[in-house]
Structure 1
Amino acid sequence: MYRLFVAIDLPGSVRAQLADLGRELDGVRRVPPDQLHLTLRFIGNADDECFQRIKDSMATVTSPPFTLALAGVGCFPSPRRPRVIWAGVTADERLTLLQRAVETAVAAAGIPPEERPFSPHITLARLKDAIPEGFSAFQSRHGEFRAEPFAVEEFLLYSSTLTAGGALHRREASYRLTG
C-alpha cells in the first residue's frame, strides 16, 4: 500500500531559507528541510494497481516550465487555532494550470476529485495543541518574507510513510515540464 502525493520539489537555497525561518519557532514539529515541498495534490492510500495507474496518468501531464516565488508566512486553519504554519506562494497562473492538469490526471486514474480549493503553500511546521509562544511576533516579523524565485522544471510523485517522528517521503517518479 502506498500513501501518495504529487509535489514540486524546492531548490537547496530555498530549503535553507525556509529551514532558517522554522528554527525561530518553539513548541512545534518542524518539517525537516529535505522534506519541504509544494503539494499539488494529496492522493492518499493506493494499492499496487492504483499506484501504477496514477504513475502512468501523471506522465500524460503537459505543462511548460515556469518560475515560482515564495512570499509571506501564515497558518491554517486560523491564527487563533493554528495547526499548520506555512510559507506562501505568489499567485501564478502557470502553477494553477499545472495543478489543474495534475488533478485531471489523478481523476483519469480513477481517484475522486479534491473538494477543497487549491491553496499553494510550503508547510514549515505542525502543532497539536497550544499556539507556540512568540507565534504572533513570528508572523509580524516574517509577514513580508520573500525567497529568491526559482525555476520549476519538473513535478514528482511521492510516497509517504508515517512514523512516530513524522512522515518520510520517497520519490517514486519525476515528470519533466515541457512546452
Structure 2
Amino acid sequence: MLESLAGLAAERGPLGIIGAALWPSPARPQVLVVTAKPEDWAQAMASRAEALARDAGYRPETRPFQPHITLARLGGASASPACVAALETAAHALHGAAMRFDSLSLFASRTPPDGPWFERLATVRLSGG
C-alpha cells in the first residue's frame, strides 16, 4: 500500500499552511494541528489511500479530507482564553508558509478507554519533490 502511495506522491509539491487549530473545537480540544490548503495532488493521494484501505478491508473514512500535521494530543484538557489567543497568533504567523515532506508513514490507531495512541507500522522515503 505504501509503495502505491509513494508513486503518486512523487508528483507532489509543497502544502501551503493555512494556520493552526484546536480540533474538534477550542471549547473541547483534543488535538493541536497545523492546517494546510487541500491541494489537488494531496486530495488525489488521499482518495487513492482511501481506495487502497477499502480494498484491504478497512472501513472508509467518513470525515472530509483535511490536510494537516498533528502537533500535540491534548488528552481532553480545556483550552483557556490565553491558549486560544496564543494559537490564533501562531496561526496568523504561519499563514502562507509551506510544508514539504520526504516520507510517508502508515500508522495504526489504537483506541482503548484510557485514550488513543498510534503505532507507526511502516515508512517509505519519497523521491523527487
Q: Secondary structure at the match of 2:93?
A: coil
Runs of at least 5 residues in structure 2 that lack an aligned partner in the other structure: none
Report the counterpart of residue 123 of structure 2 in structure 1: 173
Q: d(CA) in 1 for partners of 2:71 and 2:50?
A: 24
Instruction: Say which structure is richer in strand.
Output: 1
Report the counterpart of residue 84 of structure 1 in structure 2: 31
Report the counterpart of residue 58 of structure 1 in structure 2: 2
Q: d(CA) in 2 for partners of 1:143 and 1:152?
A: 20
Tell me the TM-score normalized by structure 1.
Answer: 0.54
Alignment of 1:1-179 (within 5 A): 57-61=1-5, 62-63=7-8, 64-125=11-72, 126-132=74-80, 134-146=82-94, 148-159=97-108, 167=117, 169-170=119-120, 172-174=122-124, 176=126
> Offset of 1:100 from its aligned partner?
0.7
Q: d(CA) in 1 for partners of 2:87 and 2:108?
A: 31
Tell me the TM-score normalized by structure 2.
Answer: 0.71
Q: d(CA) in 2 for partners of 1:115 and 1:168?
A: 19
Q: d(CA) in 1 for partners of 2:126 and 2:110?
A: 25
Q: d(CA) in 2 for partners of 1:132 and 1:67?
A: 33
Q: d(CA) in 2 for partners of 1:96 and 1:132?
A: 34
Question: What residue identity is the alignment partner of 2:46?
Answer: Q
Kept in 2, the 8 Å contact 1:73–1:142? The answer is yes
Kept in 2, the 8 Å contact 1:69–1:89? The answer is yes
Q: CA 1:159–1:111 in 2, change beyond 3 Å: closer, same or farther?
A: closer
> Offset of 1:99 from its aligned partner?
0.7
TM-superposition CA deviations, 1:42-64 (whole Å, max 9, x none): xxxxxxxxxxxxxxx33333412
Kept in 1, the 8 Å contact 2:33–2:70? The answer is yes
> Offset of 1:139 from its aligned partner?
2.7
Kept in 2, the 8 Å contact 1:159–1:170? The answer is yes
TM-superposition CA deviations, 1:38-86 (whole Å, max 9, x none): xxxxxxxxxxxxxxxxxxx333334123222323111112222222222
- Give me the identity figure in percent: 22
